[in-house]
Chains A and B, each alone.
Chain A
Amino acid sequence: MDAASPSAAPGTSPSGQTPFRRGLRRLRRNRVAMASWWILVALYAAAVLADALAPYHFDDDRRDLTAHPPTQIHLVDREGRWHWPFVYATRPTLGPYHRRQFIEDRSIRYPLRLLARGQRYRLLGLVSSDRHMIGVEAPARLYLLGADSRGRDLFSRLLYGARVSLSIGLVGVFISFVIGLFVGGLAGYFGGWVDDLLMRVCEMIMMIPSFYLLLALRAAFPPELSSVQVYLLIVIIMAFIGWAGLARVVRGLAFSLREREFIVAARAAGRSHVGIIVSHLLPNTASYAIVAATLSVPGYILGEAALSLLGLGIQDPHASWGNLLSEAMAIAQVRLHPWVLWPGAFIFIAVMAYNFLGDGLRDAFDPRMEAVRR
């Protein structure tokens, strides 16, 4: 780099790059981590753009088409002619053993429309539009992944549900990391009784099995809360549980950092304690913190899913991956309507992607992995 001009001794800087850039380059070479990254980008984009991507609003039900299987998309009509992909309208009938079946009305074709007209929405709260990425004209219905027990499109509900399930992890991790970094930094920097006190508090929180604590805390609040309130409640509860583990590790890092000369130098330069913690101590724990944050997002996604699955989280008609999966709690449902398992697949994909990305980040950025690489 040009900064290391004339008198730079050889060997001081192998690549002439910041550690961050070197880490980023290592990360780019990790295919699994990069694939996970793009999967997550796609999932988050889908959640943000759910209004435009989903064919239907999350609460758009059809009481006659309950538990409709995924709609068949045809290319060839009755006469054997080829067309742009189309669907037929369906109506329920009773089949053998009084099982409900859906019969296609083959007289009229309903072509798949790109940018189809549908319910009006405001994208990102700004742009008003009634165009949906894909759709069919009524009375036909496009159930890409089947319908739920009220005839609502599962695919649309999954996209809307991603907003809750994916954001809860980010918001929760953010809150718990602000607390965890600060508490850990304080304990490690000051040591002594401050350290003792804060660490005993952490241990008390970590001692309690977290899921039961989650249930108990949720039970302490009235059951009839709006979905927004429940969302905030879940985030706060999970962040409250989640900061302790991080605080302990950061405290350990801070403990070794505070003996380093640059911390003493910062004190000698008249920096305040809080200034030193925020601008010298914590940035040096950043590589660990980013990795730990990524690896702890799945916990929040699973926690929300578990609460909502048990009916303590996000309430119908609002969707989250957890409460969508609650339809799959009865084994008979799964046998008759296997598509109700789709939310589980999405949870699985998101959790695995976070884990692989977190592993990749650790390999690329954690300085303690340096020895392993060489």
Chain B
Amino acid sequence: MTPLLEVDNLHVVFDTDRGAVRAVNGVSFAVQPGETLGLVGESGCGKTMTAQAILRLIPSPPGRIAGGRILFDGEDVLLARPERLRRLRGAAIGMIFQEPLSALNPVLSVGTQLTELLTAHGSVSRTAMRQQALETLSEVGLPDPPALLRAYPHQLSGGMRQRVVIAMAIALRPRLVIADEPTTALDVTVQAQIITLFKQLKARHHMTLLLISHDVGVMVQLADRIAVLYAGHVVEEAPTATLFTAPRHPYTRGLLAAIPARRAPGELPEAIPGAVPDAAQLPSGCPFHPRCPRVLEVCRGTFPEMTVFDPAHRAACYNPEPIVNDVNDVKDGKDG
């Protein structure tokens, strides 16, 4: 099967006063049609930059895409002309942002923002447009869509706003939806509702989703496969169940050990020592080596090649974790 989205050796660099900050260093992954791929990692590991690069939203200057290819349905997005790019954005690829209040224009009503999106991609009659807006709003589980069209973002609760943001992202039935931390700004009960909504949308529309989150708990519930990012590199990629039961990269293992719900009662979660390296001064070799419990001499030299453990499971490590059989982990990891 040909992937719907293929990111190949993507490099994103920010030219700052302190020198070049390498935010993304050769990220590669592929998303199959109908599948949900999760990008997971700590803050500053390049998740958001990767997502924004796909739609070429990196603020430039100072940012620039320094190399690589982004193939959407076989077409290189990085070579798309402005008019073609505008067609891809919104109509073919929808994007959901982290902060629902700031992702909505405070001075325009929900209806204006939704219909404006529809007009931007082909002229539809006013009544058809209104109908489509109402349908989309009820599809994301919002009550009383006609009244909602007149409402302003500040009149809605956080959960409703995020539903509106999701409605805007899926209004044009894009073939790929990129969700950048869609639940991070919400409180826990609303998070659960939004996750349920995503599950429904996935089931109903066979939606292809690129989900970005630092929250492993969200990933477990939504992602089919997960790619773990660290300092702008994909360090491990595996189906969700495999990743949780048999992580091979020490960083993935550390990330899973830091989830409170995966620990026995009374036992504290294990933090990974140290902090994410400064993207302006990345360590040589494997960027994780200063924090790695399994570090070898070779790790300081060059970045390790991806090792393929089985066709769907790859990790970039010279000294991967041994396989442990702990099947319970998958179930316990749900609410991390």
Contacts and interface: CB of A to CB of B under 8 A. Distances in A.
Contacts of B88: 270
Given A6-B143, A16-B155, A283-B108, A262 B102 contact: yes
Nearest to A2: B147
A125 interface: no
A7 B157 contact: yes
A92 interface: no
Contacts of A5: 143-144, 147
Interface in A172-212: 192
15 contacts: A3-B148, A3-B156, A4-B160, A7-B143, A7-B160, A8-B155, A8-B156, A19-B107, A261-B99, A264-B52, A264-B97, A268-B90, A270-B90, A270-B121, A279-B116
B120 interface: yes
A12 B151 contact: no
A5 B88 CA distance: 35
B168 interface: yes
Given A8-B156, A18-B152, A279-B108, A268 B55 contact: yes
Contacts of B104: 262, 265
A318 interface: no
A285 to B, nearest CB: 10
A261 B97 contact: yes
B107 A269 contact: no
Interface in B72-128: 85-91, 94-95, 97-99, 102-108, 116-117, 120-121
B102 A269 contact: no
B87 A270 contact: yes
B107 A3 contact: no
B61 interface: yes
Interface string A306-324: 0000000000000000000
B159 interface: yes
A85 interface: no
A107 interface: no
Contacts of A9: 157-159
Given A261-B99, A279-B108, A286-B107, A4 B120 contact: no
Given A3-B156, A265-B103, 14 more contacts: A2-B144, A2-B147, A8-B155, A12-B157, A19-B107, A192-B61, A261-B98, A262-B103, A265-B97, A269-B169, A270-B86, A280-B105, A284-B106, A284-B107
A1 B149 CA distance: 13
Contacts, number: 114
B154 interface: yes
Interface string B150-175: 11101111111000010011000000
A260 to B, nearest CB: 6
A272 B102 CA distance: 20
Interface residues of B, number: 45
A275 interface: yes
Most buried by B among A9, A261, A280: A261
A272 B120 contact: yes
Contact of B155 (A13, A260, A283): A13
A255 to B, nearest CB: 12
A6 B88 CA distance: 36
B89 A7 contact: no
A283 B106 CA distance: 10
A269 B90 contact: yes
Interface of A: 1-9, 12-13, 16, 18-19, 192, 259-262, 264-272, 275, 279-280, 283-284, 286
Nearest to B165: A265
B156 A12 contact: yes
B120 A3 contact: no
In the A-B complex, list the 8 residue pairs whose CB atoms are closest, starting with the nearest. Answer: A270-B90, A3-B151, A270-B89, A9-B157, A269-B90, A268-B95, A261-B102, A3-B147
B66 interface: no
Interface of B: 52, 55, 57, 59, 61, 85-91, 94-95, 97-99, 102-108, 116-117, 120-121, 143-144, 147-148, 150-152, 154-160, 165, 168-169
B57 A267 contact: yes
Nearest to A10: B157
B21 to A, nearest CB: 17
Contacts of A6: 143
B86 A284 contact: no
Contacts of A4: 151, 155-157, 160
Contacts of B85: 270
Nearest to A272: B86
Given A3-B148, A270-B121, A8 B157 contact: yes
Most buried by B among A4, A259, A268: A268
A214 to B, nearest CB: 35
Nearest to A367: B106
B278 to A, nearest CB: 22
Contacts of B156: 3-4, 8, 12-13
Nearest to B153: A262
B89 A268 contact: yes
Contacts of A259: 59
B173 to A, nearest CB: 13
B157 A264 contact: no
A271 B117 CA distance: 7
A269 to B, nearest CB: 4
A372 to B, nearest CB: 20
A344 to B, nearest CB: 41
A265 B51 CA distance: 13
A283 B107 contact: yes
Contacts of B105: 262, 266, 280, 283-284
Contacts of B158: 9, 12
Nearest to A267: B57
Contacts of A272: 86, 120
B42 to A, nearest CB: 21
